[in-house]
């Protein structure tokens, strides 16, 4: 049985995405194989007005979901560190949740600490440790770039561990 998981790292300027497939063996011993399907970013221009940027996210997310056909979406929960950027991310996140609702796609959310714990065994791991874990878990020769895409793959992997 194969399941596609789309991980999303929400942002207004850059929204990272990473898609994986999880295949469970049908033998008596439960074994799950995880493979990377795709990763990248959706970028909006800082020069565009806010409404246009949100429309870009809306349209590009619909196209991405149409292309990847995920069974589950995993989202990094909003992390509060600077009020101005938190509001922008919250607006982008609202568009993301709207698209998922329109598509009737189930989703799960994880805090940054939950993602770090799942991938490294340590909830306060630094970004490089998480990125190395992503490359290792997906048997990649190098860490996916940009960082937003690697973060999205980390979110998708975290969801796969919950299966």
Contact 7, 157 (CB under 8 A): yes
Catalytic-role residue among 2, 9, 66, 139: 9
Specify whether 151 is catalytic: no
Cα–Cα distance for residue pair 91/108, rounded to 1 Å? 18
Q: Is 49 a catalytic residue?
A: no
User: What is the Cα gyration radius of the chain?
Assistant: 16
Active site residue 9: yes
* Alpha-carbon span 114 to 118, nearest angstrom: 6
| Angstrom distances, CA of residue 140 to CA of 35, 42, 51, 131 | 10, 22, 37, 11
**CA distance linking residue 3 with residue 115, whole number of Å:** 20
- List phi, psi (to 5°) of 9: -110, 95
Q: Which of 60, 66, 148, 151 is catalytic?
A: 148
Active-site residue, from 49, 67, 76, 147: 76
Closest CA to 110 of 162, 57, 148, 43: 162
Catalytic residue IDs? 9, 76, 148
């Amino acid at each position: 049985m194969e399941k596609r998981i789309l991980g999303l790292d929400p942002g207004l300027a850059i929204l990272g995405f990473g898609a994986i497939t999880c295949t469970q063996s049908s033998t008596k011993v439960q074994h799950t194989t995880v493979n990377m399907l795709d990763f990248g970013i959706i970028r909006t221009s800082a020069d565009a007005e806010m409404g246009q940027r949100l429309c870009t996210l809306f349209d590009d997310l619909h196209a991405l979901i149409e292309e990847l056909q995920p069974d589950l979406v995993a989202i990094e929960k909003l992390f509060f560190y600077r009020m101005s950027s938190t509001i922008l991310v919250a607006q982008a996140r609202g568009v993301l949740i709207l698209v998922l609702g329109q598509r009737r796609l189930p989703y799960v959310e994880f805090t940054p600490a939950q993602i770090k714990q799942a991938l490294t065994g340590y909830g306060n791991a630094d970004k490089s440790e998480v990125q190395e874990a992503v490359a290792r878990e997906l048997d990649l020769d190098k860490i996916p770039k940009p960082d937003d895409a690697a973060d999205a793959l980390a979110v998708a992997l975290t969801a796969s561990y919950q299966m």
